């Protein structure tokens, strides 16, 4: 087992590192303290060949390029304080209206102009035993992107002997504030930039959330039955009907870290990814707006080159009273746990 960090570059006068975790079976994940980024995730395919199953770049410096920042698909990062959209970039909390940065006018998306995905986190610990583990911390100050309260955050990544990548995101605050983090990774179990539309997907969700044309949730809880959003039984990502892609929140039937909530499978490589989470929803995004973008190993990423399964609370919950609350208060502990288990 291996756990080591490599200094790469300076950003915002802080050192950016590449951190490598490797387990006894050869599974390897490369992370960075810049944005809590998962740069690569290598698992064996059905023939035992190492296969990188996430989109990204060969070099960390590429994540700071003008070309990438202009497109900026949040590739592999941790986003927050609030994942997804906050309607009209504002919310009411305890009788006061808070206006947050509108980076996708009129709404806020994934935490604002400079969310947690663009922060340099502190490496709290990096350990080899009993299993390789990285812990990052960050203090988001009161007023950050318009959000109230000083928010103390911790990200934990652990690689197990069973080829699981376990993630735990936790937070505490000194003022009431919305908190809803997620990992915005683009998975491609083919191990390249080819289409994920032939991947097989199942999501344990009987309902999905209605939304307006601009993708903001409208508060409706809709049944997946007899729609192209029915993934209760495993099927190909692309439905038989005309298809423009998914950017859709699914409400999980049993949000529990011990319950399997989704499965993604590639027949090409035989790689199967099982997802477990304690979060009540998954945002499924088929990357229809991605690219063209030059990625790893001279690949070109295009629409449908990756699939995001973003575990989170219902989008725009802060403005939708009948959705689960995302408000964290002093004395409370926010804990988001998601596990990705790989096999062939």
C-alpha 35, offset from chain centre: 11
**Known catalytic residue: 183?**
no
- Say how many C-beta atoms besides its own lie within 10 A of residue 290's C-beta: 23
**Residue 5 has what pLDDT?**
61
Domain ranges of the chain: 2-343
- Give the span between the Cα atoms of 54 and 252, in whole angstroms: 24
Of 157, 81, 86, nearest to 116 (Cα)?
81
Window from 63-67, 112-116, 201-205 with minimum mean pLDDT: 63-67
pLDDT in tens, 148-169: 999 999 999 999 999 999 999 9
Is the pLDDT reported for residue 313 higher than 90? yes
* Active-site hit among 30, 310, 314, 336: 310
**Known catalytic residue: 66?**
no
Instruction: Judge whether 24 and 1 are in contact, CB under 8 Å.
Output: yes
**The CATH number of domain 2-343 is 2.70.98.10:** yes
* Active-site hit among 110, 184, 314, 336: 184
Q: Mean pLDDT across the stretch 283-309?
A: 96
Give start and end residues of each alpha helix (H) in the chain: 66-71
Q: State the average pLDDT for the chain.
A: 95
- Say how many C-beta atoms besides its own lie within 10 A of residue 252's C-beta: 22
């Amino acid at each position: 087992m291996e756990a080591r960090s490599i200094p790469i570059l300076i950003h915002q006068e802080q050192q950016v590192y590449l951190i490598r975790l490797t387990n006894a079976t050869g599974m390897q994940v490369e992370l960075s303290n810049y944005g809590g980024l998962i740069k690569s995730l290598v698992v064996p395919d059905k023939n035992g060949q190492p296969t990188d199953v996430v989109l990204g770049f060969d070099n960390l410096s590429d994540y700071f390029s003008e070309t990438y920042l202009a497109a900026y698909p949040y590739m592999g990062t941790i986003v927050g304080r609030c994942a997804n959209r906050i309607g009209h970039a504002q919310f009411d909390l305890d009788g006061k209206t808070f206006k947050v940065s509108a980076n996708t006018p009129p709404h806020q998306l994934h935490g604002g102009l400079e969310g947690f995905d663009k922060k340099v986190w502190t490496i709290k610990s990096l350990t080899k035993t009993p299993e390789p583990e990285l812990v990052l911390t960050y203090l988001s100050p009161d007023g950050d992107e318009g959000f109230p309260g000083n928010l103390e955050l911790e990200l934990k990544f652990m690689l197990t002997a069973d080829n699981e990548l376990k993630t735990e995101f936790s937070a505490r605050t000194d003022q009431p504030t919305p908190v809803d983090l997620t990992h915005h990774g683009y998975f491609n179990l083919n191990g390249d930039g080819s289409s994920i539309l032939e991947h097989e997907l199942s999501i344990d969700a009987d309902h999905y959330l209605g939304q307006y044309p601009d993708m903001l949730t409208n508060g409706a809880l809709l049944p997946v039955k007899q729609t192209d959003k029915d993934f209760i039984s495993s099927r190909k990502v692309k439905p038989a009907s005309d298809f423009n892609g998914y950017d859709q929140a699914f409400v999980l039937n049993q949000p529990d870290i011990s319950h399997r909530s989704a499965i993604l499978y590639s027949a090409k490589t035989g790689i199967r990814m099982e997802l477990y989470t304690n979060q009540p929803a998954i945002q499924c995004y088929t990357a229809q707006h991605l690219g063209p973008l030059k990625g790893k190993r001279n690949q070109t990423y295009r629409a449908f080159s990756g699939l995001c399964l973003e575990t989170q609370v219902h989008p725009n919950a802060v403005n939708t009273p009948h959705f689960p609350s995302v408000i964290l208060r002093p004395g409370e502990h926010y804990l988001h746990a998601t596990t990705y288990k790989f096999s062939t």
